[in-house]
Chain A
Amino acid sequence: MGQNKYSEEKLIRPPEKVMRLDRMGSSHQTRLSFMRSLARRMSNEKWKFKCLRRDIDDNGFGVSVYAVNTTKRTYSLIAFTQDIPPNKRTDRVIAEVWDATFSLFDGIPTQKDIDYLALNTPKQEGGRFRPSELVLARANKSLRLFEHVISSLAKGNQPDIKLLSSVGYLMRTTAVYGSGKFGCADRGKIANREECKGAFQIELLAVYLIRWFTIDLVEYIAKKRGGNKSTKLDPSISQSLGIGNSTGLGMAPFLLKHPLLVHNLIMAKETALARVRAIKTPNNETIDSFTKSLERVSQHLSEWVVDDNMQTDRINCLKDEVKSLINWSSGESVFNNYYPWNSIYEHAEDYYSLECQEIIVSLIIEPHGYLVDDLADTMFSESIPKINVKMEISDLKKIIKIYYNWAINIDFTKPKSQYHFWYYSEDKLEPRFGSRKNDSGSDQEMPLAIGRDVNDLNEVLLNNKDDILVGQFVLENPQFRHIIRRIQNTLQAPYSEIQDNLLDESMMPLNLLRFKLAFFGASKFDPKSNLWTRISMYQGAPMPENLSADGFDSWYFPITPKL
């Protein structure tokens, strides 16, 4: 007996559909996104949050320490704030000063630790860190919002909710480093801790604490300025404020250098989608949640306003498509038939844009926490791909034919196919995306040209005997060692490879950034060029004091609160 066409295995989307740049660049957060799963853990395990030190002046400049007690450990965010010249406030990696700099400390820091970090954390990449520091980060103020919120609160008023909504955060991080960067703790130090097992959990804990710090900071300054007249932010406004982030090219090499992790992340999301599509008869609660979520996402889209023309067009299209889906799903009585979630997904695939298809993926997964939340525990990888020297060349050729058809069909002799190259600049090792035509340095190209390297290998393999072993082949052709290892890994981890040419003239790194940021749980993507984007993180997430409140987990696609 064959499998039912509605079985999970049949419904899972194949890598050639999922791993395309245009779809990846249309990704949205899901309930499996890292911020969501971290917030659930904080709530379930009843983590305790406390400000341990606030040694700052009336303008908020100085040092503060914010701690979180998990079930077994304490982590502390040490925040240094300073006054900086406005013209030095830039999002770039090559910036040299920031409004606020942070270290996440493993435990509670002593004065000696704080003294050491006071000399290093504000220097960021120019400082040196120790295994006691888990994360290094920095943030700049949103100038429009920061002062407005303080002056409003100082006078005893709540800030303008429309203005808040147009930005969404008080500060914007411009880098969050973990995993051994600049001497910080290696992932190996924390990888076996339950709360750190999932991808980027410790980095996103730091970001959550930074968000809390920004809100605490404005309330403190307002109190100093306004005295008894001052007030605190309305809790619903605090919750609606996230923490901003600017993300550039550094994320792109990461995706290519961690193929097993990428596979595991996507496998989890695709499995979740397939599980939901395989539901024959939904329960009423999930239907209600989904119906409400369509209204919620409509409001979210109306509040997602960006300068970028292309993204604006996509948002406008999305608004129409969501409206259309609302009509279709009520008019067609889709929920009176079997497999309604699958019908909704297939309808989206047939009629709507990629951006809409992916938002619907998020929305149909959302009400099914009971069915998919366990998958969050699989979203990490500690293993390292190894070369299999016993494989015959004939088998290697087969893998290339099946999984790299996209690569072997590209004509790399055309200049447009190798138009770009990726490199590290000597300027603070800033990753850059150059053009061979205009920029020097292609000799120092980063080894990220997966499609081209597979194509080159394939040409050589065509002239080799099928029955020789990979071990013998790499002895004679060591230049293909890295790509063979990668190809072999793809057999075990088919979602590990982006199935597009990353050197092509039309390549938009933004697609890679958005893909990864969606896994983080980011929202309100605000592209500033093809190379970088601003986003909002933790917008709508419960504040520490509300982590146990009813509905604490319902902060997907954040919307402006009604006061």
Chain B
Amino acid sequence: MGNEKLTISLNEVLFFFTRAGFGVNAPIGVAEDFARSNIWIAENGFDPCLCSLESLKSLDNKISSLSVQFKENNFYCPKDRYLSSLIASVVAIDRINLDTEDSELILKNVDYPILVIAAMGANNCNNLQVFWRDENNNEYLVRFNSSDSWELLSSNQAPIELSKGADMIIRPINVRTNEPRNIIHKKYTTSKEKGKILQGGVEVGENWPGIYDFFSRCLVKSTAESRAMGAGAGLVDTD
């Protein structure tokens, strides 16, 4: 796989991102959910590599952690690290799906918030909104209006995929929440964007080789002995 811009399928997102997550030692079930979130990102017209490579690197370099604890509606990392978005996204979805009476849910110091948003989108977490101010002081508000549409309100043009380091506040959509300053408003209809992706594929940028490198950790080096053990080994055409 070269460095040039490549178009991949959603099935390839699932295949490569699951194993890339596994490649940084995320439990396989968490890695599967990570890949599903990346499909949602791709289906909405974003390059899934942009945020996910950073989140994988952060986990691999132990800047982020999969350790998570829950106390008084707060998920947080007990270590002095970012809470990895790989685990933040699954614990948030699980908590939402418990249908508790929480008035809000807070995810503390999440490394890449877009992956939590993607998990919510992929799991149809409708009628919820998420607000965060990242470590660059950029503010974002995402509203999930229905299973097919969502809106993004942000304080500037910085790509949401690269928003880093934030306490994310998840609330029901009908609870009054302050909107970002200097509001920039975008609306997305997932099915519409997905239709385009199914016709044209997912364009991935220069971060794709990095994802592939993490994926490659799941591959076993080939030896003369293992080659000889593959299906079809030792036979040229005889029929």
Contacts and interface: CB of A to CB of B under 8 A. Distances in A.
Interface of A: 86-87, 89-94, 128, 130-131, 140-145, 167, 172, 174, 179-189, 244, 246-249, 384, 386-387, 389-390, 423-427, 429-434, 438-441, 444, 446-447, 469, 471, 474-475, 478-485, 528-529, 531-532, 534
A390 B29 contact: no
B222 A427 contact: yes
A444 B220 contact: yes
Nearest to A386: B123
Given A390-B98, A447-B28, A485-B29, A425 B226 contact: yes
Contacts of A427: 222, 227, 230
Could you say which of B7, B9, B12, B218 has the most chain A C-beta atoms within 10 Å of its C-beta?
B9
B11 A180 contact: yes
Given A440-B221, A441-B220, A478 B198 contact: no
B231 A185 contact: no
Contacts of A140: 237
A482 B29 contact: yes
A407 B229 CA distance: 27
Contacts of A390: 97-99
A430 B99 contact: no
B238 to A, nearest CB: 8
A188 B91 CA distance: 28
A480 B29 contact: yes
Could you say which of A142, A447, A528 has the most chain B C-beta atoms within 10 Å of its C-beta?
A447
A89 B220 CA distance: 25
A180 B9 contact: yes
A187 B12 CA distance: 12
Given A172-B239, A426-B219, A440-B221, A183 B230 contact: no
B11 A438 contact: no
Interface string B70-102: 100000000000000001001100110111000
B100 to A, nearest CB: 10
A126 to B, nearest CB: 10
Given A167-B239, A480-B27, 9 more contacts: A425-B230, A432-B220, A434-B220, A444-B219, A471-B94, A474-B94, A481-B30, A481-B33, A532-B231
B27 A185 contact: no
A252 B123 CA distance: 29
A143 B239 contact: yes
Interface string B186-228: 0000000010001111000000000000001111111101110
Nearest to B200: A131
A185 B12 CA distance: 11
Top 10 A-B pairs, shortest CB-CB distance: A248-B231, A481-B29, A180-B11, A180-B9, A441-B220, A482-B29, A532-B231, A92-B232, A91-B232, A426-B219
B32 interface: yes
Chain B, interface size category, equals 35 or more
Contact of B220 (A92, A426, A534): A426
A480 B29 CA distance: 7
B213 to A, nearest CB: 12
Contacts of A389: 94, 97-98
B220 A531 contact: no
Contacts of A86: 236-237
Contact of B98 (A92, A426, A471): A471
Interface of B: 6-12, 22, 27-30, 32-33, 36, 66, 68, 70, 87, 90-91, 94-95, 97-99, 123, 194, 198-201, 216-223, 225-227, 229-233, 235-237, 239
A424 B219 contact: yes
A471 to B, nearest CB: 5
Contacts of A439: 220, 225-226, 229
B6 to A, nearest CB: 7
Given A440-B220, A482-B27, A485-B29, A93 B236 contact: no
Contacts of A130: 7, 201
A534 B231 CA distance: 11
Contacts of B216: 426
Contact of A481 (B12, B90, B97, B231): B90
Given A423-B220, A478-B27, A180 B10 contact: yes
A429 B99 CA distance: 42
A167 B12 CA distance: 36
Contacts of B218: 424, 444, 446
Contacts of B239: 142-145, 167, 172, 244, 534
B10 A93 contact: no
A430 to B, nearest CB: 5
B198 A188 contact: yes
7 contacts: A92-B233, A94-B230, A189-B198, A431-B231, A444-B217, A480-B27, A534-B239
Contacts of B10: 180, 186, 188
Contacts of B231: 92-93, 247-249, 430-432, 529, 531-532
A180 B112 CA distance: 28
